[in-house]
Amino acid sequence: MNHLKPLDSMDRRILRIVQRDASLTISEIAAQIGLSQTPCWKRLQRLEALGVIKRRIAVLDPKKLGLGLTVFVSIEVGQHSGEELTRFVDCVSSMEEIMDVYRVAGDVDFVLRVVVPDTAAFDVVYGKLRDLIPLKNVTSHIALENIKSETAFPV
């Protein structure tokens, strides 16, 4: 299932294009990288088969959906059993307002990115978090401004 050839420069150029605009046709992509359509299409197929391209999605505008508030939540869990932690992680993951969950090293254990309409909605999420298991410390950082939000990786 893995790559025999890693990824050559043509593959990378294709990836750079489609991770910014997946609505382009094969012909347009092929023209941009200086290849004809057939090999370009085959490379795209291969990149999808390898799982380098995971899926294609539509990116929505959170503001226009009434989701104006982003909050970063840092959590210190303190002492807990494995089952308690598993339950905590499962519940947190299942909450749709919680977009990202990372376990991190350092003075905190988890970092969450929460997207909600307003502070009232965030308060609900915050309450749910505190009710899951006793947490040693929960710190919230409300986003005042989204300066950059990039979905395209440097390839």
Q: By the criterion CB under 8 A, which residues form the site for its own copies?
A: 7, 15, 18-23, 50-62, 64-65, 67, 70, 72, 74, 89, 92-93, 96-108, 110-111, 115, 139-155
CA dist 110 and 76 (Å) reads: 7
Q: Which helix (H) or strand (E) holds 7?
A: none
Partner whose binding site includes residue 151, from its own copies, DNA, none (CB under 5 to 8 Å by kind)? its own copies
Near DNA in 104-133, by CB under 7 A = none
**Contact status: 36 vs DNA (CB under 7 A):** yes
Among 14, 15, 35, 73, binds DNA (CB under 7 A): 35
What torsion, rounded to 10 degrees, do the Cα atoms 29, 46, 42, 16 define?
10
Pairwise CA distance, residues 9 & 128, whole Å: 47
- Closer to DNA at the Cβ: 14 or 73? 14
57 binds, among its own copies, DNA, none (CB under 5 to 8 A by kind): its own copies
Q: Which is nearer to its own copies, 60 or 120 (CB)?
A: 60
For position 37 contacting DNA by CB under 7 A, the verdict is yes
CA dist 83 and 116 (Å) reads 29
51: left (phi over 0), alpha (psi -120 to 50) or beta: left
13 part of the interface to DNA, by CB under 7 A: no
Question: Which tokens is 39 given?
Answer: 């090999």
Binding of residue 43 to DNA (CB under 7 A):
yes
Please state the φ and ψ torsions of residue 48, each to the nearest 5 degrees. Answer: -75, -40
Binding site for DNA (CB under 7 A): 8, 10, 25-27, 34-43, 45
